[in-house]
Amino acid sequence: MVKIGVLGLQGAVSEHIKAIEKCDATAVVVKHKEELEELDGLILPGGESTTMRKLIDKYDFLDELKHFAALGKPMFGTCAGLILMAKSIVGYDQPHIGVLDVKVERNSFGRQKESFETDLDILGIADKFPAVFIRAPHIVEAGENVEVLAKHEGRIVAAQEGPFLGCSFHPELTDDTRLTEYFVHMVKKSKENA
Ligand code: GLN
């Protein structure tokens, strides 16, 4: 069975743990950087990216997270997690982990509604996926090797580049595990090929 961690410094951690377990993988809450070594894949949850970044620095996680990505181990960022993974953030000079070749804008659905749910078609993964958006970012630009997986009202809200998957919404907040299942499958394939 593959072992998937959820960065447990802040945000929607336990919901991701439950979703991973439903997909027949072992789920671990990661609170210490040493725990990353034993993992086959990692989920960066939603929450508040600025708070998460402060805690990443406080617990000295940043280099280890970059190292995890450099090993080519799959990473899945949801909402704030997507912001942590993006190579570029509108209004910021520096990215956080900076591994997924996209530019994101924070809180980009804010003016329409603080939070909402909509059915999304996610390319090759799920039709009518119930996507929960909470002060969500969107992807403004995607690099040439990035596959756009879903759009909402013309804005990119899910994308993948090799082992790196990101989405603007919260797949862990509904009972629909199709996106988590897809990530677990990515982790299994990556482990087999390692
Ligand atoms: N608005 C948050 C941020 O910028 C993300 C919100 C979320 O993860 N639900 O970090």
pLDDT tens-digit series, residues 26-59: 999 999 999 999 999 999 999 999 999 999 999 9
- CATH number of the domain that residue 189 is part of: 3.40.50.880
Average pLDDT over residues 154-174: 98
Q: What ipTM, to 2 d.p.? A: 0.96
According to the model, what pLDDT value does residue 68 have? 98
Alpha-helix residue ranges (DSSP H) falling in 61-144: 62-70, 80-85
| Rounded Cα distance, 191 and 194, in Å | 5
The total of structural domains in the chain comes to 1
Pocket around ligand 1: residues whose beta carbon is below 6 Å from it? 46-49, 79-80, 83, 106-107, 134-135
Q: Which of 177, 161, 145 is nearest to 69 (CA)?
A: 161
According to the model, what pLDDT value does residue 77 have? 98
Average pLDDT over residues 89-116: 90
Q: Is the pLDDT of residue 61 over 60?
A: yes
Residue 194: pLDDT band with limits 50, 70, 90: confident
* Residue 47 assigned ligand-binding role: yes
Residue 105 CA to ligand 1 centre (angstroms): 10
According to the model, what pLDDT value does residue 90 have? 98
* Residue 166 assigned ligand-binding role: no
Distances (CA, A) of 70 to 13, 73, 163: 24, 7, 10
Q: Which domain holds residue 64?
A: 3-193
* Residue 156 assigned ligand-binding role: no
Buried/exposed code over 40-74 (b: 16+ C-beta within 10 A; e: otherwise) = bbbbbbbbebeebbebbeeeebbebbeebbeeebb
Q: Is the pLDDT of residue 105 over 90?
A: yes
Alpha-helix residue ranges (DSSP H) falling in the chain: 13-22, 49-58, 62-70, 80-85, 178-193
Ligand 1 pocket test: pick from 51, 56, 79 the residue with the most ligand atoms within 8 Å of its Cβ.
79
Residues catalogued as catalytic = 79, 170, 172
Ligand 1 pocket test: pick from 6, 43, 49 the residue with the most ligand atoms within 8 Å of its Cβ.
49
- Point out the ligand 1 atom lying closest to the alpha carbon of residue 170: 9
According to the model, what pLDDT value does residue 111 have? 56
Q: Is the pLDDT of residue 131 over 90?
A: yes
Average pLDDT, the chain: 96
